[in-house]
């Protein structure tokens, strides 16, 4: 309690928490107190509404040059299980998603040298033409930087062309952990944290909103977590372009981190709830929506997270490959009715939203 007394006072006075406060939270084992503080902040800022979206994840390829040590999803070209979808195949998936009631397509892949820029542009234009009201939340900052690198365009041009083709917003993937030393060990082939933030800033300045993520529970330190969240906060103070923050719970199975004995255990339920609560507390006044991603933490813990600072449950998802390649045991699809039930059962008001957080329906 003592170590958190300053944090309590600051939360009561609605003051920004600083790095030292973040560390005190990370190092405390008083989860019920941290959760209560985060729940208080959630209640007094965004209230009892809990958002979700009817969405469908589409992974267009898993062939990747990046070879991140935390990733079990990627394959090398020609390797067993490697795939690249044609735009026709993606259109078929979109048709199915649309029939299932999706209002958002979450489209991400990997860094595949065989795909030309025209593929990305054509994909968005075809989707946008056929489903003009569908939100296309597509391509992480890492994919955008890769497209700039491989085409010789600057990121701004890549983003402008994709926006013109129908891009609605950017998902938050690829943030991982910004600390350069840890990041180099986790994903030496990936853009730096600084570059990730730079791409997001460019997108925000073009009116393209995005999400932000952080991968936790591997080889990072508590200080790295606080540093990562603070850097998101700094950029948000400049652009206001982040719509949500999503802490991602590391799944170790089939990853190099696990194979090389660097990570033995996945984050625990304690870690998952604490990460939500710490995110809410540090981002208070900056990012309103803290998302609990049920695919990674499980439906039951995601529901409990609604009492630890989360106010968003992501969505129906429909198809998920990244977490499941790394040992994820959750379903790939949670119907809308079930999300509504989970949220109501937690004593909250379910609100279906669009990708850009417009309200579709309030389930009073």
- Which C-beta is closer to ligand V47: that of 92 or that of 356? 356
Sign of CA dihedral 277, 351, 332, 163: negative
Residue of 171, 193, 267, 350 that binds ligand V47 (CB under 6 A): 171
Residues numbered 239 to 258 that lie near ligand V47 (CB under 6 A) are: 246, 248, 250-251, 255
Give the DSSP letter of residue 65. Answer: S
Task: State the number of binding residues for ligand V47 (CB under 6 A).
Answer: 23
Distance of closest approach, residue 119 Cβ to ligand V47, in angstroms: 20
Distance of closest approach, residue 339 Cβ to ligand V47, in angstroms: 14
Interface region with ligand V47, contact rule CB under 6 A, candidates 109-117, 154-162, 170-178, 298-306? 170-178
Q: Does 211 bind ligand V47 (CB under 6 A)?
A: yes
- Which C-beta is closer to ligand V47: that of 209 or that of 348? 209
Q: Does 135 bind ligand V47 (CB under 6 A)?
A: no
Q: Give 157-160's long-range contacts (Cβ < 8 A, gap of 24+).
A: 158/117, 159/202, 159/203, 159/206, 159/208, 160/206
- Which C-beta is closer to ligand V47: that of 14 or that of 79? 79
- Which C-beta is closer to ligand V47: that of 182 or that of 326? 326
C-alpha to C-alpha distance for 77 and 67, rounded to whole angstroms: 12
Q: Which of 26, 33, 18 is nearest to 308 (CA)?
A: 33
Give the DSSP letter of residue 3. Answer: G
DSSP 208-256: -EEEEEEEESSS--HHHHHHHHHHHHHHHHHH--EEEEEEEE---TTSH
- Tokens 């981190």 sit at which residue? 257
Q: Does 124 bind ligand V47 (CB under 6 A)?
A: no
Helix axes 155-165, 193-205, angle to 10 degrees: 50
Distance of closest approach, residue 213 Cβ to ligand V47, in angstroms: 5
- Which C-beta is closer to ligand V47: that of 18 or that of 299? 299
Residue of 109, 172, 241, 298 that binds ligand V47 (CB under 6 A): 172
Residue of 314, 324, 346, 352 that binds ligand V47 (CB under 6 A): 314
C-alpha to C-alpha distance for 171 and 363, rounded to whole angstroms: 26
The pair of structure tokens assigned to 178 is: 């910004």
Q: Which residue is nearest to ligand V47 (CB)?
A: 173
Question: Going by DSSP bridges, is the β-strand pair 359-362/349-353 parallel, antiparallel, or unpaired?
Answer: antiparallel
- Which C-beta is closer to ligand V47: that of 35 or that of 172? 172
- Which C-beta is closer to ligand V47: that of 55 or that of 284? 55
C-alpha to C-alpha distance for 110 and 193, rounded to whole angstroms: 17
Residue of 109, 166, 174, 298 that binds ligand V47 (CB under 6 A): 174
Q: How far is CA 250 from CA 13, 26, 219, 280, 294, in A?
A: 34, 17, 10, 19, 13
Residue of 191, 208, 326, 351 that binds ligand V47 (CB under 6 A): 326
Residues numbered 253 to 292 that lie near ligand V47 (CB under 6 A) are: 255
Q: Which residues contact 283 (CB under 8 A, 6 or more apart)?
A: 229, 232, 233, 236, 245, 290
C-alpha to C-alpha distance for 324 and 7, rounded to whole angstroms: 37
Residue of 25, 51, 64, 72 that binds ligand V47 (CB under 6 A): 72
- Which C-beta is closer to ligand V47: that of 38 or that of 105? 105
* Contact characters 292-311, ligand V47, x per CB under 6 A: -x--x---------------
- Which C-beta is closer to ligand V47: that of 21 or that of 334? 334
Contacting residues toward ligand V47, per CB under 6 A = 70-72, 140, 171-174, 176, 211, 213, 215, 246, 248, 250-251, 255, 293, 296, 314, 322-323, 326
């Amino acid at each position: 309690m003592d170590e958190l007394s300053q944090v309590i006072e600051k939360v009561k006075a609605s003051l920004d928490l600083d790095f030292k406060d973040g560390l005190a939270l990370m190092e405390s084992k008083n989860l019920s107190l941290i959760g209560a503080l985060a729940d208080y902040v959630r209640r007094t800022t965004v209230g009892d509404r809990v958002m979700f979206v009817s969405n469908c994840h589409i992974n267009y390829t898993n062939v990747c040059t990046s070879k991140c040590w935390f990733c079990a999803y990627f394959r090398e070209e020609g390797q067993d299980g490697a795939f690249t979808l044609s735009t026709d195949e993606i259109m078929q998936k979109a048709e199915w998603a649309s029939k299932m009631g999706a209002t958002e397509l979450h489209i991400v892949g990997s860094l595949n040298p065989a795909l030309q820029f025209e593929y990305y542009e054509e994909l968005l234009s075809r989707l946008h033409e056929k489903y003009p009201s569908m939100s296309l939340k597509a391509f992480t900052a890492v994919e955008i930087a890769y497209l700039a690198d491989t085409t010789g365009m600057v990121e701004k041009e890549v983003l402008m062309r994709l926006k013109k083709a129908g891009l609605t917003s950017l998902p938050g993937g690829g943030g991982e952990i910004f600390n350069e030393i840890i990041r180099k060990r986790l994903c030496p082939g990936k853009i730096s944290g600084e570059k990730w933030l730079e791409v997001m800033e460019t997108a925000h300045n073009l009116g393209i909103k995005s999400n932000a993520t952080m991968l936790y529970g591997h080889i990072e330190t508590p200080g790295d977590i606080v540093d990562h969240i603070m850097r998101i906060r700094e950029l948000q103070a400049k652009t206001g372009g982040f719509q949500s923050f999503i802490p991602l719970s590391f799944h170790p199975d089939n990853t190099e981190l696990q194979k090389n004995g660097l990570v033995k255990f996945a984050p625990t339920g304690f870690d998952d709830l604490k990460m939500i609560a710490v995110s809410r507390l540090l981002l208070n006044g900056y990012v309103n929506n803290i998302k609990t991603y049920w695919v990674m933490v499980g439906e039951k813990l995601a529901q409990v997270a609604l009492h630890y600072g989360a106010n968003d449950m992501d969505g129906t998802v429909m198809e998920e490959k990244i977490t499941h390649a790394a040992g994820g045991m959750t379903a790939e699809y949670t119907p809308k009715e079930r999300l509504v039930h989970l949220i109501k059962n937690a004593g909250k008001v379910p609100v279906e939203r669009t990708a850009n957080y417009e309200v579709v329906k309030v389930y009073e």
